[in-house]
Chain A
Amino acid sequence: MRRYATLAALALGPVLVLAVFFVVPVVGMVGRGFVVDGGLDVGGVLEVLGRERTHRVLWFTVWSAAVATVVSVLLGLPAAYALHRLAFPGRRVVRALLLVPFVLPTVVVGVAFRLLLGEAGPLGGLGLDGTPVAIVAGLVFFNVAVVIRAVGAAWESLDARPGEAAAALGASPAQVFRTVTLPALRPAIVSAASVVFLFCATSYGVVLTLGGLRYSSVETEIYLLTTQLLDLRAAAALSVLQLLAVTALLVVAGRLRAVPDPTLARQLARPRRPRGADGVQVGLTLLVLALVAAPLVTLLVGSLRADDAWSLDNYRALDRVGQGSALLVPASDALVTSLRTAVDATWMSLLLGGLIAVVVSRRSATRGERRLRSTLDGFFMLPLGVSAVTLGFGFLLTLGRPPLALLDSPLVPIAQALVALPLVVRTLVPVLTGLDDRQRQAAASLGAGPLRTFATVDLPAVRRPLIAAAGFAFAVSLGEFGATSFLARSEHPTLPVVIFRLIGSPEPEAFGTALAASVVLAAATAAVVLAVDRLGGRSFGAL
């Protein structure tokens, strides 16, 4: 019983938060679709699920997200290796840059991609604009960093000795990878892949912008049904479908993640210099870099052009407010607001995510307990898999009145923390699960209390992943994410809000200014992530 009490106590806070800010709004919104004239109408919902259009939309969602996930993993693995196990100058900068896509508003990324791939763009000859290839490329652009960061964090603390032993016994590098490294990394890879899949399956702007409106996913369909047509029944049907699919995915991922002995001998391998044998990995890493950098370079170049000449005018315009300017506040003010919101969202998601990770990763004594822990694990992944518009409208519906009159409180950081939460959990859990429980028992038998055990055994192990997670959470919150666009904004606009306004303005200079503001947002993110990474690196080295 004591075990359950501890588990419940640790999980109580996060569960409450998720219940209020996720379960209640989603249930409220989906419920509206099921209840017609005061009675439950399941038949109507089933009818929607039988439509030919529903099947087509579902099929497109599944295959585009699956392909994007596979590509992200295939490109992300070698990059994770190169960026986390090899030592070369500038690797921290590259790691920080790879997180930049996370913070850019989709509308900006859409514009950047289309400037590149559109008929008049440098890659226009490829004819990719408006094709599924462009959609997948966009999804990979956003998500490859998830694989690199999450798997990289696990790879970094992977003991190199078993691999070296296998090599000494005559195994080829490929054999070592297949029989030693890959199995050890499997939990992290499956974790990252499931998060990426959920992000891809629920992405909205990428599908519409890069697909030229020719493709519909479940998410774009729910959006259309809810915001334009107010066909709540059909929207609810699709939301339920989404929830079921996500649950199924999480169950499968849970199975795949489970390994007979998750214990990893944790031994931080020193990054070494690249050798000739690393050529393939380094080459693929460069490819990833090119994919991520190309749209960013497009933005940078665009921001430096004004009146058909190179100039810094767009950057000078960032602080000009008033006549003839689409800016409502100087961009610097908006940046400060963004950073403050992101800091709030980051510590919230780290705190909640940390608690969940601890609960989920503890070894269970009974089967029931194990089931309980893995259910909790899946529960916190759900926000990633549910339509932002369902959640956003649900907020309005359920949080606007007592007993939960919370609409006037600043919900934006909380909503962002909820999105970042699964990333935090998925980054921490593989490492915590990999800890040998005997270390904790040893500490305890030497007289350490539970807190001290945690501080001396768990904490050092998760410090690096924690920093990786903090970078994620921060980047996620700096960007504007789905559900937050349905929440009332504070009077102080964030930088993404400013960019959104600039890009929609007919003022002739506004477009260039929007690109400049995006570059500032990207640079600020990279700088903060880099600083956090450095901080982490140094203190770890001192251990």
Chain B
Amino acid sequence: MSKASSNARTARFFHRLRASTGLYLLLLPSFILVLIFAYRPMYGVVIAFKDFKPALGIAQSPWAQPLIKHFLKFFNTYQFSLTLKNTLALSFYSLLAGFPFPIAVALAINQMRAKKFQLFYQTVSYLPHFISTVVMVGLIILWLSPGNGLIGQLYGIFNAKAPNLMGMKSAFSSVYVWSDIWQHTGWNSIIYFAALSSIDPTLYEAATVDGASRWQKIRYIDLPLLMSTAMILLILSAGNIMNVAFEKVFLMQNQANLSASEVISTYVYKTGITQTQYSYSAAVNFFNTLCNLSLLIAVNQVSKRLSNNSLW
């Protein structure tokens, strides 16, 4: 009896499998691409534990002696503490400074009663998001060029000589972070605005009847409801703490600011692609990935405890 029913279940399962052939066909191209270009490189991570020689291939290359040779080498270079410090500093600066602005912008957009102005404001504030990183860094350099740029004009008003911010290593992180805020605040506010538009209007009506001011409605209705969205975004960005955007940092680097702008990802690029130290670069990269993953898991765990917001 039980055997018969388990046979029937197996038969049903195979029937369902066969009926799903079409769905698997739809999935197939992306499945193969992910397999080749995302999972195969994961196997390639073993070169971090080998002395990889391109002529021998990954499998034939000898194991490193000791196995973690390249990691130890990285921990012993002066770049280790430098890149780690720069990466963390840049990440936390971006995270903390960039966090409140999109929420404020979303709240403000939500308060605009003139619909035409609201639409205009959204269009304008999202616009810089579509500037490419290359052009953005080009703009930063032009704006901040002491002789020709906006900054020269600004200081000119006060008859002062503008500093060359791109040549100052102490200014690097601020230029990086605040130009990012300029570019992406509007766009990042969309997700909060979406959360605000899903708030039940009767909540506001009830608050109005109770004599709540607009500020009180924000304080007691909008902000608490935005917190869970904010939490999820915070967890996600925690998983990227060590992934400072390579593109922008790399483009903003110059000889003068290098000691403040060398981060792990640019170091991986230089040792790997430019100097072709494949195993070493892969080891640095793998160290970075592990840090990220553990941060993500840790923050997710904390958030689960404190606020019931979790990715899984």
User: Are A and B genuine complex partners?
Assistant: no
